Amino acid sequence: MYRTLAALLLCALAIALPASARDVPGELTTQLDAQLQANRERYGIAGQAVLVAHNGSVLYQGTSGERDPSTHAPATIDSIFAAQSVAKLLTSTLVMQLVEQDKVDLEAPASRYVQGLPIAWQEISLRDFLNHSSGIAEYYDRKGEHWVSKGYNGLAPDLAAALKVAGSAPMQFAPGSRVQYTQANYLVLTALLEAHYRKAYPAIARERILQPLKMTSTSWGVASVPAQRAAVPYIGKDGQLQPANEDPWPDYGWGHADLQTTVGDMNRLLQALATGKLVRTATLETLWQPQKLTGGGSNFFSTGWDTTRSDGYTQVGHDGGTRVRARLAYKGSLASGYWVFVYLTNGSARNVWSSTLVESTMAVAAPQEFPHAVLSERLIGYALDESTDATQAMRSWLRDSNGVPTGELERAINADGYAIRESFGARKALKVFALNSELYPESANAWDSLAECHAALGEKETADRLYAKSKALAKPSP
């Protein structure tokens, strides 16, 4: 099966579509339908709904699988998926509106706007809370199958209590020095919004985002979703799907979790942002610049949006765990054109990361625009292809026509190898790491990753030999 799927997708990816893909809608639909089916078979996806748009035009909407495997109810475009932390995009947008109106200053301490924050948090900037670089602790821990706040049988009963739990723990690091994704950061933002508007967070989000954009299928909490439209969450365990049975989040946590939505509603949100309907595009382009960390490097969150820069594009969005992702991509400025990718699933047997799924659609919809996504998809196909001539074909493509700048190729192949290892195991990823070491025999990093993969397979002798080779290459010349 893997060989057949790989051959089908390599053929599809070989067809170079125009940048907008609007000239071949029928062909694009066929190719993306094939990609969704391939993803479902590769990763054991229960059900999925996908939308791709370019410059305001929806190029593709498609589904496959079941929104409820227990009843075999099919996923549809109108199915409502648990998007979880995509909720943070609404919260970030509401804060960005206040920034644009000069009502809040991202560099000012959040305590200027929120009364009663813990003493240790008094000087932490609003930007650090938005970008998960505050250093504060979480307001709950995992206890068995449930989330529990310290001192309570379950989660803290209200927002003030939850903030007190987080504040009672030691700071994890100096604010602004590094990143630690923490839901408690967004409790502070929820408190800020409620203090400013003097109403509950859901009412603020409805009035300022959901209602103006007619996002009528978006809400919070599983209980808010009609049973006939609910995509029931599943999780992978030992390669098999099983019901996720997730605890609902309290309503004070809706600023960071428990969002329920459709591909159409997420498209409305991203389209509105891309065209300046919620926040001016010039403001967004400024706020989506990377934050420099005092510990070195840049934060991969920009005003709370997961941000990458690849193929000349700024790509912003957020995931909802491994299951869902919404992404907006633009080159230079939003006015010069933008892409929207929304990929919603209700779980997969392999718990495949949502960025892999989104990039598979980017590779098909606009291969000339997103060569790194094409590389990722080609390498996945290669890892799963058991034919004897696959390696030579892959070498030739990497040498002649992959589209990724030479200086970025080794690192990109290496990163894709780790993603493949996560989804399919070390044995499948071994092919990719071995190929990278063949292509870049003087790279200490390539040999180190190959050694690590052999070690994961229990092949200690081979791993030790390769680690020694990597170490020797890493030594500076005398």
How far apart CA 352 and CA 339 sit, in angstroms, is 23
**What length does the chain have?**
478
> pLDDT digits over 224-242, tens only?
999 999 999 999 998 899 9
In the DSSP assignment, the letter for residue 207 is: I
Give the pLDDT band of residue 435 (cuts 50, 70, 90): very high
**C-alpha separations of 130 from 111, 159, 163 in Å:** 14, 17, 15
pLDDT tens digits for range 39-75? 999 999 999 999 999 999 999 999 999 999 999 999 9
Kindly tell me if the per-residue pLDDT of 1 is higher than 60: no
Q: Average pLDDT for residues 313-321, to the nearest whole number?
A: 95
pLDDT digit string, tens, across residues 397-426: 988 877 898 889 999 999 999 999 999 999
Confidence (pLDDT) at 478:
54
- Going by pLDDT thresholds of 50, 70 and 90, the confidence category of residue 21 is very low
Q: What is the pLDDT of residues 327-380, one digit of tens each?
A: 999 999 999 999 999 999 999 999 999 999 999 999 999 999 999 999 999 999
CA–CA dist 359, 354 (Å, integer): 9
Specify the pLDDT at position 477: 55
Q: Which residues pair with 298 in a beta bridge?
A: 292
Q: Cα(270)–Cα(276) distance, rounded to whole angstroms?
A: 10
Structure tokens at 281: 């595009």
pTM above 0.75, yes or no: yes
Number of H helices, E strands in the chain: 16, 15
pLDDT tens digits for range 264-312: 999 999 999 999 999 999 999 999 998 999 989 999 999 999 999 999 9
Strand, helix or coil for residue 339: strand
Retrieve residue 412's tokens: 């990109």
pLDDT category at 456 given cuts 50, 70, 90 is very high
pLDDT surpasses 50 at 7: no
Stretch 391-397: mean pLDDT = 89
Kindly list the structural domains of the chain, giving each domain's residue range(s) and its CATH number in brackets, ordered by start.
1-16+368-478 (1.25.40.10), 83-258 (3.40.710.10)
Q: Residue 333 phi/psi, 5° resolution?
A: -145, 160
pLDDT of residue 54: 97
User: How far, in Å, CA of 462 to CA of 241, rounded?
Assistant: 35
pLDDT-wise least confident of 10-14, 191-195, 284-288, 363-367: 10-14
d(CA 334, CA 275): 8
What is the signed CA dihedral for 259, 260, 262, 265, rounded to 10 degrees? -50
Per-residue confidence (pLDDT) for residue 339, from 0 to 100:
98
pLDDT digits (tens, 9 = 90+) for 102-123: 999 999 999 999 999 999 999 9
